[in-house]
């Protein structure tokens, strides 16, 4: 179905506040474009102030390429006759409303649930997607790993796409008769108004710890960004928060939504308890009902509990929800286990924050017998929050018998600089057990060949990613592939 169509400009501006128009309003636009280089005749070009450059600089290019209208915060000195200029206080915010109107407000016809928090968004959104499909609904998913409309997979470029791409995807989901959509809401998305104009049926808060300070600058700003999602929820929605996180209460301080809670530690609407957790599965009690899950790890107990809570808040029955939930598997690259023929365990996990790494290593510490070695391989991304680098190395050392610091998407930084910053977190007593091997393939080979039967190798940070981002080029690289290759080599040796 062709969703992209012409829309009258005036119909798109209905929900945009404080817009001043210069030029004809009685025109049509045929798409919404943020990048001047992609403008086509009839486009509405949105000038956004970015982190690298200012879209206002490219208004001239957009009009030359035939833009019918320009949405901007500041009018250009030379306006072109025949082009309509819409001046607004915040282009990104206005674009949210315009994109939603352009695609016919798809979120209003869907049950849309957003998940925010530092860790667990992909896991919770994916579990909800799988659960509701198993319960018989047609569903859509927007996640870091991939977007999905029922079985159809659409590659994801961001955790949360920009408002135009997002509304286009929602419109496609609606056209494919989806009733429920589960999506991740990143802090960047809230700060940049990627979700403005959407109507949510519910919001879930997982947790908040150190991340993305490169973008938000302070932890307070980071908290405010996440809170912004709950502040904007309507009173028809639910706001489901993890009250074991000390920022849980703050998140919903100013929301109009119906506040509901989940916890493993205190009284809450949805109360869980981990009875046992092994490599084979997790035994939990949820609101006094006992249940076995295939998914393991205490951090996943939180994820499953929030999914259970959201499903009940959406009107599902406890028994059928627990039955279907118990069958679910973790998304790719989330505590994904591999076993060599001689019983070395390899775990590929997307832990790329100090908190996630600590959770995963605590889970391993809890599951291990104590006689085997835990070998942790970890790196930190380039052009991202540098504060987490020494912290992640320190956590790796605290829980492991051997540590290999390696590269993870160096982007435009020198991998050796990143590794030097990580090394600062290694306590002197742990120097001996820590190696630095910048080449990630070599690092996985080293760990995989030196491990002995029973040992556990954690390969952290890249999870499902199938590339190594070096100077803007994504080279194919897949932790699982390399791990399986080395396991095969052990077998043939
Ligand atoms: C830091 C950040 O969020 N960046 C996003 C942002 O880019 P930017 O602010 O740097 O844009 P810019 O390069 O300064 O350009 C400003 C404007 O001028 C326009 N421009 C630029 C050049 C030109 O010739 N013509 C033109 O019109 C650009 O299209 C843009 O609209 O807006 C772009 C368009 O929407 C995004 O693609 C880009 O995501 C980049 C690729 C990115 O890496 N984002 C990451 C940090 C991100 O968003 N991550 C979150 C969270 C991840 C998680 O924790 O799960 C996510 O949701 O994915
Ligand atoms: N509820 C949780 N609490 C803490 N850590 C978690 C939780 N769930 C998952 N993790 C850890 O965090 C990693 C990332 O999980 P997931 O992909 O679900 O998070 P995310 O919030 O989507 O991350 P991103 O910000 O990259 O989108 C997992 O591989 C696991 O190590
Ligand atoms: N959504 C996160 C993912 C980080 C994954 C890690 N492999 C890295 O590249 O730092 C980000 O873009 O910051
Ligand atoms: Mg994610």
358 appears as a binding residue in the annotation: no
433 appears as a binding residue in the annotation: no
**pLDDT tens-digit series, residues 210-228:** 667 777 678 788 888 889 9
Q: Cα of 188 to ligand 3 centre, how many Å?
A: 13
In whole angstroms, give the CA distance from residue 394 to residue 406: 14
Q: Which two three-digit tokens encode residue 396? A: 């790796």
Homologous superfamily, domain 336-492 = Mur ligase, C-terminal domain (3.90.190.20)
According to the model, what pLDDT value does residue 1 have? 42
Q: Is the CB of 360 under 6 A from ligand 2?
A: yes
Considering every ligand atom, which ligand is closest to the CA of 350? Answer: 2
Q: Which residues in the chain come in under a pLDDT of 70?
A: 1-4, 210-211, 216
According to the model, what pLDDT value does residue 340 have? 95
Q: Which CATH number fits domain 7-90: 3.40.1390.10, 3.30.1700.10, 3.40.1080.10, 3.40.50.300?
A: 3.40.1390.10
Which CATH architecture best describes the domain 106-325?
3-Layer(aba) Sandwich (3.40)
Q: Cα of 294 to ligand 3 centre, how many Å?
A: 27
Q: Which two three-digit tokens encode residue 456? A: 């556990």
Q: Is the pTM of this model over 0.90?
A: yes
According to the model, what pLDDT value does residue 4 have? 53
According to the model, what pLDDT value does residue 491 have? 76
Q: Which of 213, 384, 411, 467 to mutate to test the pocket of ligand 3 (most atoms within 8 A of CB)?
A: 384
| DSSP structural state of residue 120 | S
Considering every ligand atom, which ligand is closest to the CA of 165? Answer: 1
57 appears as a binding residue in the annotation: no
408 appears as a binding residue in the annotation: yes
Equal fold, 7-90 vs 106-325: no
* Cβ < 6 A, ligand 3 pocket: 159, 352, 381, 384, 408-409, 461-462, 465
Whole-angstrom CA distances from 423 to 389, 391, 407, 417, 437 are: 8, 10, 13, 10, 12
- Provide the residue ranges of all domains of the chain, joining segments of one domain with +: 7-90, 106-325, 336-492
157 appears as a binding residue in the annotation: no
Provide φ and ψ at 266, rounded to 5°.
Answer: -140, 180
Considering every ligand atom, which ligand is closest to the CA of 142? Answer: 4
| DSSP structural state of residue 232 | T
62 CA closest ligand 1 atom index: 27
Give kind and range of the element (H or E) at residue 24: none
Whole-angstrom CA distances from 255 to 183, 200, 259, 265 are: 19, 13, 8, 24
CA triplet 476, 481, 485: central angle to 5 degrees?
125
Q: Indicate which residue's Cα is closest to atom 10 of ligand 1.
A: 51
Q: Cα of 329 to ligand 1 centre, how many Å?
A: 32
Q: Is the CB of 446 under 6 A from ligand 2?
A: no
**pLDDT tens-digit series, residues 237-286:** 999 999 999 999 999 999 999 999 999 999 999 999 999 998 789 999 99
């Amino acid at each position: 179905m062709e969703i992209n169509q012409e829309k009258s400009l005036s119909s798109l501006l209905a929900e945009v506040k404080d817009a001043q128009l210069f030029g004809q309003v009685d025109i049509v636009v045929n798409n919404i474009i943020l990048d001047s280089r992609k403008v086509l005749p009839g486009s509405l070009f949105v000038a956004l102030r970015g982190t690298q450059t200012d879209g206002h600089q490219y208004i001239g290019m957009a009009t030359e390429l035939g833009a019918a209208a320009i949405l901007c915060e500041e009018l250009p000195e030379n306006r072109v006759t025949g082009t309509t200029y819409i001046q607004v206080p915040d282009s990104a915010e206005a674009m949210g409303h315009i994109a939603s109107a352009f695609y016919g407000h798809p979120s209003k016809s869907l049950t849309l649930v957003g998940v925010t928090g530092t860790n667990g968004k992909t896991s919770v959104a994916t579990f909800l997607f799988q659960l509701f499909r198993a319960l018989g609904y047609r569903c859509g998913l927007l996640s870091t790993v991939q977007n999905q409309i029922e079985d159809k997979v659409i590659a994801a470029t961001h955790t949360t796409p920009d408002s135009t791409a997002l509304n286009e995807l929602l419109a496609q989901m609606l056209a494919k008769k989806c009733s429920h959509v589960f999506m991740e809401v990143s802090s960047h998305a809230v700060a940049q108004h990627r979700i403005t104009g959407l109507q949510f049926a519910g919001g879930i808060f997982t947790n908040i710890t150190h991340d993305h300070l490169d973008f938000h600058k302070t932890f307070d700003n980071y908290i405010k960004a996440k809170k912004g999602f709950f502040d904007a929820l309507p009173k028809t929605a639910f706001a489901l928060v993890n009250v074991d996180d000390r920022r849980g209460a703050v998140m919903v301080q100013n929301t109009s939504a119906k506040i509901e809670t989940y916890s493993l530690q205190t009284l809450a609407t949805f109360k869980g308890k981990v009875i046992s957790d092994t490599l084979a599965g997790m035994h939990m009690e949820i609101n006094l009902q006992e249940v076995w899950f295939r998914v393991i790890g205490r951090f996943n107990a939180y994820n499953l509990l929030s999914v259970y809570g959201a499903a009940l808040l959406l009107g599902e029955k406890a028994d059928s929800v627990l039955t279907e939930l118990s069958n679910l598997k973790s998304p790719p690259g989330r505590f994904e286990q591999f076993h060599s023929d001689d019983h070395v365990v390899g775990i590929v996990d997307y832990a790329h924050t100090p908190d996630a790494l600590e959770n995963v290593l605590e889970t391993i510490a809890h599951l291990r017998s104590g006689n085997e070695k835990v070998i942790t391989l970890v790196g930190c991304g380039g052009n991202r929050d540098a504060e987490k680098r020494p912290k992640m190395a320190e956590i790796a050392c605290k829980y492991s018998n051997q540590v290999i610091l390696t590269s993870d998407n160096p982007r435009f930084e020198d991998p050796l600089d990143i590794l030097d910053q990580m090394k600062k977190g290694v306590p002197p007593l742990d120097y001996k057990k820590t190696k630095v091997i910048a080449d990630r393939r070599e690092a996985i080979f080293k760990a995989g060949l030196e491990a002995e039967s029973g040992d556990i190798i954690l390969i952290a940070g890249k999870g499902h990613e199938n590339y190594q981002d070096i100077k803007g080029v994504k080279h194919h690289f897949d932790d699982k592939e390399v791990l399986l290759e080395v396991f095969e080599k052990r077998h043939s040796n």
